[in-house]
Amino acid sequence: MSRVKRSVHAKKKRRATLERTKGYRGQAKSSYKRAKEALLKADSYAYRDRRNKKRDFRRLWIQRINAAARREGMTYATFMHGLKLAGVELDRKVLADIAVRDPETFRRFADTAREAAAA
């Protein structure tokens, strides 16, 4: 069986790892072993936080809608319930954007929700 010399691919793999850890602190940028450990940790944080980002943005949108709804004299829950009864199918991202950028349009949505909840 022929002999396999592995140094080319091994060096390529190590070089790629060290390039990815450029900018890290301490030995995590220069020592292959530490860089590999740092990358494993960084990748797990990135994976976790891609999911947490969705959670965080939803919380932010709800806070913005709640603040705008309270300016109109209703709570977030009654506002969203009224919109559902009225058949308005806007997601929280769009509603939060409207609440921040166009208070007059949000006021009309609040009136719609109030009428639907009263009926």
pLDDT in tens, 28-42: 999 999 999 999 999
* Global confidence as pTM: 0.81
CB under 8 Å to 5, separation ≥6 — which residues?
Answer: none
- Asked if residues 98 and 106 have their Cβ atoms less than 8 Å apart, the reply is yes
Whether the pLDDT of residue 55 is over 90: the answer is: yes
CATH class for domain 8-118? mainly alpha
Residues 24, 40: Cα–Cα separation, whole Å: 13
CB 53 within 8 A of CB 91: no
Tokens of 62: 């709800």
- C-alpha dist (Å) from residue 108 to 22, 93, 101: 52, 17, 14
